[in-house]
Amino acid sequence: MSNSVEKVYQVRYNTQSTDDSNRWRLLCDGQEILVANIVINSQTFTTKDYIEGAGDKWHVTCHGELTIENDTAYINFKKDNAIARHLAKTITWRIVGSIDTMLVSWLITGNLKMGLAIGGVEVLTKMILYFFHERAWYKYGKLSR
């Protein structure tokens, strides 16, 4: 069984299980899936409830794509094509920025050839700088809401 859509899954221990084949409950969109094992390769969130007479009960929630093989559920983070998107944004933004630089340089110097030369030189250097800037923001620039 495979689910190619990223969803939110709640993971619960099956307290009514009588054997190892269905010891885990996966809850998603109002449905329950019973499996023997779970492998989570995505970000998880935990919460804790206190239940009178039972004590603390932990809940695990994760986001990802579900695949079930041999009674084991695999929840994997859906990888996007961020690098391709960042590269496309780098190129289109650089075109806009280079036109701006050429026009401003031409206006300041009064020389069209000089404006084109200045704009031409900075095209490559600023594309490289922007690409690494975008990648750094993607990796380290998590802003909380």
Instruction: Give pLDDT tens digits for 1-47.
Output: 656 678 899 998 888 888 888 889 999 998 999 999 999 998 888 98
For the CA atoms of 15, 16, 19, 20, the dihedral, rounded to the nearest 10 degrees, stands at -40
- C-alpha 125/C-alpha 83 separation (Å) is 18
Handedness of CA 84, 87, 89, 91 (dihedral sign): negative
pLDDT of 145 higher than 60:
no
| Res. 103 pLDDT band, cuts 50 70 90 | very high
* pLDDT at residue 2 in the model: 58
Is the pTM value of this prediction over 0.85? no
* pLDDT at residue 113 in the model: 95
Name the least confident of 32-36, 66-70, 84-88, 102-106.
84-88
Three-class secondary structure of residue 131 per DSSP: helix
